[in-house]
């Protein structure tokens, strides 16, 4: 077996490739655009040449001799008839053209400047800044120099003048220079004519011009007749004298071959000064003379049902390139006119450009016959479905399953119910040894369809055999030590479970498998909060782990019980929810009494199997147990805790006995239930898991014992209460009417920073809010404490008093974007109202309750307010996904090091101490009030560890054990005590 | 009968099942009844290139009346039988009816007299027919008859059957065309006022913008002119020359007059000719002067506010009407700038128009007919070239129109690049069907927030269901009609309406006789 030990990458370097290297690497030169001959065999030196690798099974690669699948393919090359520009480097090419001399190719910077930029570059690299900025600065500096500091123009004897470079996207470059206009004589003549509109302008005679410019008169006449082109000095003189411009821009197109010649002249040390490694990336290599042909394996052709071959987009593009390339060569050899050559050259450039990138702005994308743009090299890499984001950072995996989730309160929170279908599909590898041989054989003999069965076996020689219904018995007997058996998932296996969106680390947790019938994943309801799951059709993914390291890691780090505490707020995120909370509330609120049967029934699903001492006897002499006593049975024996719940109830627990207060959301709920939090931190995750499981079971039993339902009658309030509500609202209406009158009279005083209109709106809103609140209070007063809605709201199980208010009292003001409803018809919301009606009912105040029923107008306003919420949720989810991606990208490579610092991959310190305080949010107390009593935890652990006081004392170092190392330091003769002998340990 | 019972009876009568897809029927019947003929009449003739050569007489085709029958199927043996929806569904064929058109090939007009070479009513193609519409074979059947032919008596209809699959055309909600909408906008960080009009005529849609830029100058932009044109220049080019008249046409409000004077002061041109010249330089810069003038005239007659064109109104009058219209847009800008009015509410339902199946089919039929015309032209030229006798029946290939009508309905890719226009009828359950038939789609992108467009607007009361909208990205953009929604159709006889208005004392309606146009009304 091949040993693929992990290797470490030292560095990755990117550079340009030398055309010679292309040729050396190439398996073959490609010269024909054809792919297959009539018999369906690849054509030699064609695009499907067998030397480029094989894709058809059975054929042998002519380069490496391997078959398809094991041969990765080999590059070929096309000799381009003329150099073309690589689109990826157009910007750099432009910069280099601008920064170097057109004659000698040297960088237009003095030696000192070069030195300076080299230094800056070094510094930028050291500081981790973008070396591109230095490059840009250097180019800018070089561009300023109008003349080359190194070479002399032979014709003028001056330093060579540099021309401006114009870049026409994507791949055309021009040299721009000012030359004498072709119509110079006409221009001069017309400037010398007197201006007919301006009487003060007498024009200029040739003599006058000659005097002004110091040019002989006959020369002037020659210039005027167009016989003589004035030299640069004369031209400037004439321009000055007549205040005209005689130049026009001359654009000289730079062909890729010109650019290549130009770049060849640039000396190595010059480009190194601007940060280009000349050893690896000579600038002339940016102009392609040889085009590498990707191996066929990178552009496989597919055979359609009708036997026709359909080629990859890249192959199509390469065909185009070769065709044009050939035509180019033929035309050039035939001596075609320059114009045709240039056209072909441009066409070749276009094809090579689109071969590399088909989404260049300014170039029409190359299209397939059907009109679909071709997907060429850069399109393969870019974007969400591209190679990086689509195939490397994330990809589809084997051993994963997805289905709908449903609740199962009988499971532990660590477990997940896996449908049999999934369990038989997903496998775990079993290495057969003498100890598990029998088991392995049993799995195999069960076959792929029986449940704890197996799907594949692997012999020591590496051969994999599929276990089928037919061969399973036979195969089972053959299984020996050192075989591998891919057995089905069985109870107790560890798997990873995930629900998207994975917004925090608790979105992916490890669960133990419980294989179950039916087709859904089953979870304990207490793990809903970390996954943010519910059962309205949610689906979740499961991944079966494939090696021992992964399984160990998952079990130790990712198991649900290890995630009880959330790093978000340092308290538990797993705990009782909804009906669990109602259940514990009912059980403990008024401390009800239970008979023996009832008490046993409540504790039936827990591990408690003996009842404590009864709390007392009823009048009839039967023993009874209180709810709090039963609850206490689940608590650790020595737990002592005192806290005040947000409902204002003081909860007292002493030595594992719940004495006072009601157990509600603040005690056992997810998101920071005190008891769960304390147990997790003090007694550990395992104890917490047991506690949460049992509390959930007890609570379900309890709520079933009491019975819990919510009907329409539970929200009704007596008639007199209704009248009081109406009165309160009537009251508010009157006050609003007063406000409106004051406003209409122009007497309303505006609040600071607000207009009068805004003030009125605000005051009305305030008043209506108050009206609703008082309606709520009235309603609340008329609800009994045993009202199920009240129980849910008070215990924190579900809903709030506000919901109750809306159901029974008054729904209240509807708002859109924080304001009363103002939009609609002109000057009014609905056509049911008079224009400019400012009253409450005309702007979305719903005075009825949900139970009482809304009027049509109110219903409509309510729908308007409700719509905003729906839109908000929809828009928020899409935005948060994007935000998440950006956050992850920014933080993904940060890592806490062993020295406590947080660094990125380049070793740059981001934080000197993790979180600036070096603590883990889950390992410290979440606030000052519940500090973790480390001393008592240590005491308890040590007490458990040692059976005798003596051993404990010895461990703690309070007592020295007697030694017989030497007489000198022996018992009784403690001479060493004064001599300070250092012990070996 | 008690009041309550009476009401119940009335509403039961009102909410009968026939009403559920009523809007589709009305719209589609309207299209069959007059929409198709309108499209053909707009087209009028099919011109050919025959006659471009020397000594050859031009040939063209005159289009006459279109006629459509009820759906039928042509069997392999050539027989044609009535087709019922259920059969179309089961046999995976299209529920479509043959369309016939009177066409006559005319030769001459240059040297010789125009001679009708051939004239015939020919089948030009097949039109998919809406189940339950007036051309549908089950129209007017009672329940028993429907059961007899295998139809569900409670099926609401209102969809098409193409290749056996039932497709509904989604009603789409657009901003009302030919209406001035004033609103604020920002340009380079400054708040500016813009008056917008989507001017629409015969399937051509042009957005005309009138902006008041930060210097207070008015600029107009419309298709085919890049950037914007000075308001005064454009108005002068349209024939509204004098300062006084321009100001007067915009407004008599002293503050607006002040704004207008600023504009006139900055004006570059004074006369109509100058203005057209300036415009010519914009629309055809670098061209010859004559061409520039021609192009400028063409552009203002063709691309500027096309909805003001009307048959029977001469160019001169249309132009001045365009000028008046632009003045009204200017007034809207100024009023907005002065706070005299608030910006128009684009979500107000008065500013919305719905494109129901008939309107969509009209768009489709228009492009299909153009395609057919091109094909007829090609066939004619070819036949002429080979010196064949030109007959109507040989030059019309009915597949062209059929293909152009069926393909968009089958795929949902409508003309103008809209996709998802036709959808497979949601047959999950009966409620699904009803909801689907009464669904309404906003063309706004679902990827942008568009908070205000998604809100339930008070003007949707009674028209759009306040509750039924999907959750998620389409929330508030996809809507459903309310139960009692009544969809009005556009007026069949516009001239009649205008005459009626004129008789009631409305002055200055273009194209109406008997109104004194020399003295513009001082309103």
- Is there a contact between A825 and B458 if contact means CB atoms under 8 Å apart? yes
The alpha carbon of residue B97 is apart from the nearest alpha carbon of chain A, in Å, by 31
Q: What is the pLDDT of chain A when averaged over all its residues?
A: 85
| Residue B444 contacts A where some CB pair is shorter than 8 Å | no
pLDDT greater than 80 at residue A330: yes
Residues A723 and A844 in one domain: yes
pLDDT greater than 80 at residue A949: no
When pLDDT is averaged across residues A17-34 and rounded to a whole number, the result is 87
pTM metric for this prediction: 0.76
- Is there a contact between B455 and A829 if contact means CB atoms under 8 Å apart? no
CA of residue B366 relative to chain centroid, distance:
10
pLDDT greater than 70 at residue A981: no
Which residue among B447, B457, B461 places its CB closest to the CB of A823? Answer: B457
pLDDT attached to residue B71: 92
Residue where one domain finishes, among candidates A706, A733, A765? A706
| A885 SS3 class | helix
Q: Is residue A571 included in any domain, yes or no? A: no
| Residue A876 contacts B where some CB pair is shorter than 8 Å | no
Residue A520 confidence class, pLDDT cut points 50, 70, 90: very high
Among A856, A874, A876, A880, pick the best mutation site for testing chain B contact (most B Cβ within 10 A): A874
More confident residue, A332 or A961: A332
- Is there a contact between B456 and A874 if contact means CB atoms under 8 Å apart? no
Are B201 and B307 in contact by the 8 Å Cβ rule? The answer is: yes
Of all residues in chain A, the one with the smallest CA distance to B469 is A867
Residues A698 and A723 in one domain: no
Q: What is the CATH number of the domain that holds A867?
A: 1.10.132.30
Residues A470 and A585 in one domain: no
pLDDT attached to residue A166: 83
Instruction: Look at A46-55, A321-330, B422-431 and tell me which has the smallest mean pLDDT.
Output: A46-55
For A526-562, the pLDDT digits (tens) are 999 999 999 999 999 999 999 999 999 999 999 999 9
When pLDDT is averaged across residues A563-571 and rounded to a whole number, the result is 88
Q: What is the CATH number of the domain that holds A456?
A: 3.30.1490.180
| Residue B462 contacts A where some CB pair is shorter than 8 Å | no
Cα separation of B135 and B157, whole Å? 13
Instruction: Look at A474-488, A607-621, A825-839, B299-313 and tell me which has the smallest mean pLDDT.
Output: B299-313
pLDDT attached to residue B513: 57
When pLDDT is averaged across residues B271-300 and rounded to a whole number, the result is 79
| Residue B457 contacts A where some CB pair is shorter than 8 Å | yes
Torsion of CA A422, A424, A426, A429, to 10 degrees: 160
pLDDT attached to residue B516: 44
Q: Is residue A68 included in any domain, yes or no? A: no
- Is there a contact between B473 and A878 if contact means CB atoms under 8 Å apart? yes
The alpha carbon of residue B481 is apart from the nearest alpha carbon of chain A, in Å, by 15
Residues A434 and A405 in one domain: yes
pLDDT greater than 60 at residue A776: yes
More confident residue, A106 or A526: A526
- Is there a contact between A864 and B455 if contact means CB atoms under 8 Å apart? yes
| Residue A831 contacts B where some CB pair is shorter than 8 Å | yes
Cα separation of A457 and A472, whole Å? 10
Helix (H) or strand (E) holding A881: helix A856-891
More confident residue, A6 or A507: A507
pLDDT attached to residue A201: 62
When pLDDT is averaged across residues A640-665 and rounded to a whole number, the result is 86
Residues A478 and A621 in one domain: no
Of all residues in chain A, the one with the smallest CA distance to B475 is A871
pLDDT attached to residue A801: 86
| Residue A924 contacts B where some CB pair is shorter than 8 Å | no
Is the peptide bond prior to A170 cis by the omega test (within 30 degrees of 0)? Answer: yes
Residue A984 confidence class, pLDDT cut points 50, 70, 90: low
Residues A650 and A722 in one domain: no
- Is there a contact between A860 and B461 if contact means CB atoms under 8 Å apart? yes
When pLDDT is averaged across residues B419-430 and rounded to a whole number, the result is 90
- Percent share of chain B, pLDDT over 90: 20
For A685-718, the pLDDT digits (tens) are 899 999 999 999 999 999 999 999 998 888 888 8
Residues A699 and A780 in one domain: no
pLDDT attached to residue A84: 92
pLDDT greater than 70 at residue A35: yes
Q: Is residue A877 included in any domain, yes or no? A: no
Residues A853 and A732 in one domain: yes
| Residue A817 contacts B where some CB pair is shorter than 8 Å | yes
- Is there a contact between A821 and B458 if contact means CB atoms under 8 Å apart? yes
Residue A165 confidence class, pLDDT cut points 50, 70, 90: confident
Among A823, A835, A861, pick the best mutation site for testing chain B contact (most B Cβ within 10 A): A823
Which of the 8 DSSP states describes residue A567?
T
The alpha carbon of residue A831 is apart from the nearest alpha carbon of chain B, in Å, by 8
Q: Is residue A6 included in any domain, yes or no? A: no
Are A860 and B494 in contact by the 8 Å Cβ rule? The answer is: no
Are B161 and B85 in contact by the 8 Å Cβ rule? The answer is: yes
pLDDT greater than 80 at residue A366: yes
Among B461, B462, B463, B477, pick the best mutation site for testing chain A contact (most A Cβ within 10 A): B461
User: In sequence order, what are the residues at sequence separation of 6 or more whose Cβ sits closer than 8 angstroms to the Cβ of residue A634?
Assistant: A606, A608, A691, A694, A695, A698
Cβ atoms < 10 Å from Cβ of B461:
22
Residue A976 confidence class, pLDDT cut points 50, 70, 90: very low
- Is there a contact between A863 and B476 if contact means CB atoms under 8 Å apart? no
The token duo for B153 is 């008596």
pLDDT attached to residue A232: 67
Domains held by chain A: number: 4
pLDDT attached to residue B489: 85
Which residue among B347, B451, B458 places its CB closest to the CB of A830? Answer: B458
pLDDT greater than 50 at residue A1: no
The string over B165-174, giving b where at least 16 C-beta atoms fall within 10 Å of a residue's C-beta and e elsewhere, is bbbbbbbbbb
Chain A residues touching residue B471 (CB < 8 angstroms): 870, 873-874
When pLDDT is averaged across residues A122-148 and rounded to a whole number, the result is 82
Cα separation of A625 and A588, whole Å? 12
Residues A718 and A700 in one domain: no
Helix (H) or strand (E) holding A172: strand A172-180
Residues A489 and A584 in one domain: no
For A95-104, the pLDDT digits (tens) are 888 888 888 8
Chain B residues touching residue A882 (CB < 8 angstroms): none
Cα separation of B31 and B135, whole Å? 11
When pLDDT is averaged across residues A735-755 and rounded to a whole number, the result is 85
E strand map for A21-106? 76-85
Q: What is the pLDDT of chain B when averaged over all its residues?
A: 85
Residues A689 and A624 in one domain: yes
Cα separation of A253 and A85, whole Å? 14
Which residue among A817, A823, A871 places its CB closest to the CB of B475? Answer: A871
Range of the domain at A619: 579-706
The token duo for A51 is 């030397």
| Residue A421 contacts B where some CB pair is shorter than 8 Å | no
Q: Is residue A75 included in any domain, yes or no? A: no
| Residue B476 contacts A where some CB pair is shorter than 8 Å | yes
pLDDT attached to residue A307: 74
Q: Is residue A109 included in any domain, yes or no? A: no
pLDDT attached to residue A374: 87
Residue where one domain finishes, among candidates A490, A523, A556? A523
| Residue B285 contacts A where some CB pair is shorter than 8 Å | no
| A845 SS3 class | strand
Cα separation of A294 and A292, whole Å? 6
The alpha carbon of residue B521 is apart from the nearest alpha carbon of chain A, in Å, by 28
- All structural domains of chain B, each given as residue ranges with its CATH number in brackets, are 181-349 (3.90.1110.10), 448-480 (no CATH)
Helix (H) or strand (E) holding B470: none
Residue where one domain finishes, among candidates A648, A675, A706? A706
For B65-96, the pLDDT digits (tens) are 999 999 999 888 888 889 999 999 999 999 99
pLDDT attached to residue B436: 92
The token duo for A652 is 């007292």
- Is there a contact between A825 and B348 if contact means CB atoms under 8 Å apart? yes
Q: Is residue A619 included in any domain, yes or no? A: yes
More confident residue, A244 or B202: B202
Cβ atoms < 10 Å from Cβ of A613:
8
- Is there a contact between B458 and A816 if contact means CB atoms under 8 Å apart? no
Residues A771 and A805 in one domain: yes
pLDDT attached to residue B511: 66
The alpha carbon of residue B470 is apart from the nearest alpha carbon of chain A, in Å, by 9
pLDDT attached to residue B188: 78
Chain A residues touching residue B449 (CB < 8 angstroms): 871, 875
Torsion of CA A957, A958, A962, A967, to 10 degrees: 90
For B442-469, the pLDDT digits (tens) are 887 777 778 888 889 999 998 999 999 9
pLDDT attached to residue A902: 92
Among B182, B339, B456, B464, pick the best mutation site for testing chain A contact (most A Cβ within 10 A): B456
pLDDT greater than 80 at residue A156: no
When pLDDT is averaged across residues A156-185 and rounded to a whole number, the result is 77
Residue A428 confidence class, pLDDT cut points 50, 70, 90: very high
For B9-33, the pLDDT digits (tens) are 888 888 776 788 889 999 999 999 8
Which residue among B347, B447, B466 places its CB closest to the CB of A860? Answer: B466
Among A820, A831, A861, A875, pick the best mutation site for testing chain B contact (most B Cβ within 10 A): A875
Q: Is residue A751 included in any domain, yes or no? A: yes
Of all residues in chain B, the one with the smallest CA distance to A860 is B466
Q: Which of B433, B412, B413, B434 is nearest to B423 (CA)?
A: B412
């Amino acid at each position: 077996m091949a040993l693929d030990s992990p290797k470490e990458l030292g560095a990755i370097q990117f550079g340009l490739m030398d055309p010679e290297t292309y040729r050396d690497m190439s398996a073959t030169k490609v010269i024909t655009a054809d792919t297959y001959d009539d018999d369906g065999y690849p054509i030699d030196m064609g695009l499907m040449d067998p030397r480029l690798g094989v894709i058809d099974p059975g054929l042998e690669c002519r380069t490496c001799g391997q078959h398809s699948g094991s041969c990765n393919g080999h590059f070929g090359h096309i000799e381009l008839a003329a150099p073309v520009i690589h689109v990826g480097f157009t910007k750099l090419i432009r910069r280099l053209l601008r920064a170097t001399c057109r004659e000698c190719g040297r960088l237009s910077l003095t030696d000192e400047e070069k030195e300076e930029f080299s230094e800056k570059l070094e510094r930028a690299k050291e500081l981790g800044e973008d070396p591109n900025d230095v490059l840009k600065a250097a180019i800018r500096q070089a561009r300023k120099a109008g003349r080359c500091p190194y070479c002399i123009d032979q014709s003028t004897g001056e330093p060579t003048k540099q021309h401006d470079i114009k870049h026409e996207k994507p791949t055309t470059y021009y040299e721009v220079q000012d030359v004498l206009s072709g119509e110079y004589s006409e221009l001069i003549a017309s400037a010398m004519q007197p201006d007919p509109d301006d009487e003060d302008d007498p024009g200029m005679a040739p003599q006058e011009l000659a005097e002004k410019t110091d040019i002989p008169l006959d020369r002037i006449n020659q210039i005027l007749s167009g016989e003589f082109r004035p030299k640069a000095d004369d031209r400037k003189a004439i321009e000055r004298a007549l205040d005209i411009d005689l130049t026009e821009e001359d654009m000289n197109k730079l062909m890729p071959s010109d650019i290549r010649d130009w770049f060849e002249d640039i000396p190595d040390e010059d480009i190194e000064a601007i940060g280009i490694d000349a050893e690896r990336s000579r600038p002339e290599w940016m102009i392609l003379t040889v085009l590498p042909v990707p191996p066929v394996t990178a552009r496989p052709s597919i055979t359609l049902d009708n036997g026709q071959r359909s080629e990859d987009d890249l192959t199509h593009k390469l065909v185009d390139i070769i065709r044009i390339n050939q035509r180019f060569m033929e035309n050039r050899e035939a001596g075609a006119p320059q114009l045709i050559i240039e056209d072909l050259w441009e066409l070749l450039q276009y094809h090579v450009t689109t071969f590399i990138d088909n989404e260049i702005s300014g170039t029409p994308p190359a299209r397939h016959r059907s009109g679909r743009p071709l997907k060429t090299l850069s399109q393969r890499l870019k974007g969400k479905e591209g190679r990086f984001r689509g195939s490397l950072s994330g990809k589809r995996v084997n051993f994963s399953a997805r289905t709908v989730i449903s609740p199962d309160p009988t499971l532990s929170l660590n477990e997940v119910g896996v449908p049999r279908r999934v369990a038989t599909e997903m496998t775990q590898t079993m290495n057969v040894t003498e100890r598990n041989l029998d088991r392995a054989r049993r799995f195999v003999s069960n076959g792929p369809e029986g449940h704890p069965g197996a799907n594949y076996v692997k012999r020591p020689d590496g051969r994999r055999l599929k276990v089928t219904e037919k061969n399973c018995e036979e195969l089972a007997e053959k299984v020996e030590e050192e075989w591998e058996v891919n057995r089905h998932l069985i109870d107790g296996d560890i798997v990873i479970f995930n629900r998207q969106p994975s917004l925090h680390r608790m979105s992916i947790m490890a669960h133990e498998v419980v294989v179950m019938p039916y087709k859904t994943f089953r979870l304990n309801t207490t793990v809903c909060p970390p996954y943010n799951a519910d059962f309205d059709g949610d689906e979740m993914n499961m991944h079966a782990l494939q090696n021992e390291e992964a399984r160990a890691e998952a079990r130790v780090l990712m198991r649900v019980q290890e995630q009880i505490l959330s790093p978000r707020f340092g308290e538990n995120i797993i705990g009782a929810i909804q009906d669990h909370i109602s259940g514990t509330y009912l059980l403990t609120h008024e401390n009800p009494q239970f008979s023996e049967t009832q008490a046993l029934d409540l504790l039936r699903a827990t591990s408690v199997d003996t009842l404590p001492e009864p709390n007392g006897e009823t009048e009839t002499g039967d023993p009874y147990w209180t709810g709090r006593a039963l609850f206490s049975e689940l608590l650790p024996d020595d737990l002592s805790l005192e806290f005040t719940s947000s409902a204002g109830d003081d909860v007292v627990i002493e030595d594992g006995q719940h004495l006072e207060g009601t157990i509600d959301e603040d005690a056992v709920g997810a998101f920071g239930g005190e008891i769960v939090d304390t147990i997790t931190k003090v007694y550990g995750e395992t104890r917490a898991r047991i506690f949460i499981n049992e509390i959930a079971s007890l609570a379900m039993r309890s709520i079933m014992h009491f019975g819990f339902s919510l009907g329409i009658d539970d929200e009704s309030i007596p008639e007199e209460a209704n009248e009081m509500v109406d009165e309160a609202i009537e009251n508010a209406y009157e006050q609003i009417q007063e406000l409106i009158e004051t406003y209409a009279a122009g007497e309303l005083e505006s609040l600071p920073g607000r207009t009068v209109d805004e003030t009125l709106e605000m005051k009305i809103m305030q008043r209506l809010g108050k009206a609703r609140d008082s309606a709520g209070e009235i309603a609340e007063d008329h609800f009994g404490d045993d009202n199920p809605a009240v129980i849910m709201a008070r215990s924190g199980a579900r809903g709030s008093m506000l919901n109750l208010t809306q159901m029974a009292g008054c729904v209240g003001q509807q708002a859109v974007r924080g304001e009363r409803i103002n939009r609609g018809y002109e000057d009014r919301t609905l056509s049911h109202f008079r224009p400019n009606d400012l009253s409450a009912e005309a702007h979305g105040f719903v005075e009825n309750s949900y139970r009482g029923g809304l009027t049509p107008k109110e219903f409509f306003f309510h729908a308007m307010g409700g719509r905003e919420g729906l839109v908000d949720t929809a828009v928020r989810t899409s935005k948060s996904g994007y935000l998440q991606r950006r956050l992850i990208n920014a933080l993904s490579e940060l890592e806490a090091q062993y020295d406590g610092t947080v660094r990125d991959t380049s070793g740059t310190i981001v934080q000197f101490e993790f979180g600036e305080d070096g603590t883990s949010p889950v390992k410290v107390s979440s606030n000052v009030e519940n500090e973790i009593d480390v001393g008592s935890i240590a005491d308890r652990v040590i007490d458990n560890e040692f059976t005798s006081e003596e051993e404990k004392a010895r461990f703690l170092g309070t007592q020295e054990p007697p030694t017989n190392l030497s007489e000198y330091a022996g018992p009784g003769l403690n001479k060493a005590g004064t001599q300070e002998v250092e012990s070996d340990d | 009968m008690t009041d309550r019972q009476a009401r119940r009876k009335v509403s039961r009568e009102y909410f009968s099942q026939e009403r559920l897809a009523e809007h589709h029927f009305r719209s589609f019947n309207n299209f069959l009844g007059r929409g198709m003929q309108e499209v053909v009449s707009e087209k009028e003739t099919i011109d050919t290139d025959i006659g471009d050569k020397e000594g050859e007489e031009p040939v063209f085709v005159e289009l006459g009346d279109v006629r459509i029958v009820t759906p039928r199927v042509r069997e392999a043996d050539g027989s044609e039988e009535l087709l019922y929806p259920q059969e179309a569904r089961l046999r995976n064929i299209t529920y479509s009816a043959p369309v016939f058109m009177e066409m006559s090939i005319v030769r001459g007009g240059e040297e010789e007299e125009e001679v009708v070479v051939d004239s015939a009513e020919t089948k030009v193609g097949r039109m998919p027919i809406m189940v339950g519409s007036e051309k549908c074979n089950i129209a007017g059947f009672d329940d028993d008859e429907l059961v007899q032919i295998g139809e569900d008596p409670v099926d609401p209809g209102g969809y098409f059957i193409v290749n056996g699959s039932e497709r509904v055309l989604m009603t789409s909600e657009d901003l009302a065309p030919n209406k001035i909408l004033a609103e604020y906008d920002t340009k380079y960080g400054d708040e500016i006022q813009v008056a917008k009009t989507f001017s629409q005529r015969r399937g051509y849609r042009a957005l005309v913008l009138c902006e008041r830029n930060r210097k207070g100058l008015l600029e107009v932009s419309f298709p085919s002119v890049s950037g914007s044109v000075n308001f005064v220049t454009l108005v002068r080019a349209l024939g509204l020359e004098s300062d006084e008249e321009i100001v007067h046409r915009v407004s008599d409000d002293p503050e607006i007059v002040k704004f207008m004077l600023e504009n006139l002061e900055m004006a570059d041109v004074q006369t109509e000719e100058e203005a057209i010249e300036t415009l010519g330089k914009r629309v055809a810069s670098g061209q010859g002067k004559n061409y520039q003038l021609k192009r400028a005239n063409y552009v203002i007659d063709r691309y500027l506010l096309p909805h003001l064109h009307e048959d029977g109104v001469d160019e001169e009058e249309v132009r001045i009407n365009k000028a008046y219209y632009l003045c009204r847009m200017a007034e809207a800008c100024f009023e907005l700038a002065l706070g005299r009015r608030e910006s128009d509410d684009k979500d107000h339902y008065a500013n919305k128009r719905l494109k129901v199946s008939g309107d969509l089919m009209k768009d489709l039929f228009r492009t299909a007919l153009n395609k057919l015309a091109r094909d007829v032209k090609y066939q004619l030229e070819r036949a002429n070239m080979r010196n064949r006798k030109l007959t109507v029946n040989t030059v019309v290939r009915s597949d062209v129109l059929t293909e152009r009508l069926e393909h968009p309905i089958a795929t949902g890719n409508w003309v103008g690049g809209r996709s998802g226009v036709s959808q497979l009828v949601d047959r999950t359950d009966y409620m699904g069907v009803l909801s689907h038939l009464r669904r309404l789609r906003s063309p706004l992108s679902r990827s942008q927030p568009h908070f205000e467009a998604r809100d339930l607007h008070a003007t949707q009361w009674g028209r759009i269901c306040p509750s039924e909208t999907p959750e998620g990205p389409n929330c508030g953009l996809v809507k459903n009609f309310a139960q009692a929604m009544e969809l009005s159709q556009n007026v069949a006889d516009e001239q009649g309406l205008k005459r009626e208005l004129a008789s009631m004392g409305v002055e200055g309606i273009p194209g109406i006789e008997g109104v004194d146009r020399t003295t513009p009304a001082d309103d």
